[in-house]
Copies of this chain bind each other. A is one copy, B any other.
Amino acid sequence: MAHGYETGRLNLPFVGIPTFGKNRDVEDWDAIDADVAILGAPFEFGTQWRPEAMLGPQAIREASTLFSFGHGGAYDHEGDATYLGPEVRIVDLGDADIIHTDTAGSRANIAYGVRKILAAGALPVELGGDHSINIPCIAAFADNGPIQLVQIDAHLDFVDERHGVRFGHDNPMRRAAEQAHVTGLPQFRIRVVSSTAKEGYEAARSMGSDILSARQFRTLGVEAALSRGPRGSTIT
């Protein structure tokens, strides 16, 4: 429901049903008419560590209502610019259908939603969920490529397989690097000491990954670092 400074309702953020940013929800995924489409992926079967990532989409939606005061976008008084103004049409598709005990089926449902958004010509924004939801999300671009990925992350996420696990939260960048439609993968990394062993870095570099620590990124400068990166990329 539109905020109405000029209409009969104040419609404050904490009031009513929390769609993302209190934008319109779309139940029929064959009728997406928007610039940006939000899709939740309340999936956490891919994590090796603490639970609760599946509560992420709902929590993000609730917090997002803070930004529904109806100001017609976010104004930057320093740069005199307005971001995400009313000309950007955002809709909320709800969540992909997660099926307990069925990890492959749940991943397929996530990919299905992303493909529907791409088919409608909208920008998909996914609310996780654990980090493994990148896998179906990136796979869904197969018919919309080639794409390049820019990863800004503390971890490398480049494990091939351990104990038969190939689609957990350690594997998404490796799965991405294997796909034909992913043609570049710069990894701008924050943390110097992380959970990846030396072999992991060597494997990533051998498959074309460009890894920079935060210190190396600062030394290069934003311009030089970006000149190593892609255009038209997806930030994971």
Contacts and interface: CB of A to CB of B under 8 A. Distances in A.
Nearest to A8: B97
Question: Can you tell how many copies of this chain the complex includes?
Answer: 6
Contact of A99 (B25, B74, B163, B189): B163
A51 B55 contact: yes
A95 B15 contact: yes
- Kindly name the residue among A18, A103, A163 whose own CB sees the greatest number of chain B CB atoms within 10 A: A163
A100 B48 contact: yes
Contact of A95 (B16, B69, B100, B105): B16
Interface string A179-197: 0000000000100111111
Contact of A25 (B17, B44, B98, B201): B17
17 contacts: A5-B162, A10-B162, A12-B98, A15-B40, A17-B17, A45-B103, A46-B100, A47-B100, A69-B195, A74-B193, A75-B193, A77-B196, A77-B198, A82-B197, A83-B193, A101-B165, A101-B168
Given A1-B27, A51-B54, A80-B198, 19 more contacts: A5-B163, A10-B98, A10-B99, A11-B97, A12-B97, A14-B50, A15-B95, A17-B25, A17-B94, A45-B45, A45-B101, A46-B100, A74-B193, A75-B200, A77-B194, A78-B192, A100-B168, A101-B167, A103-B103
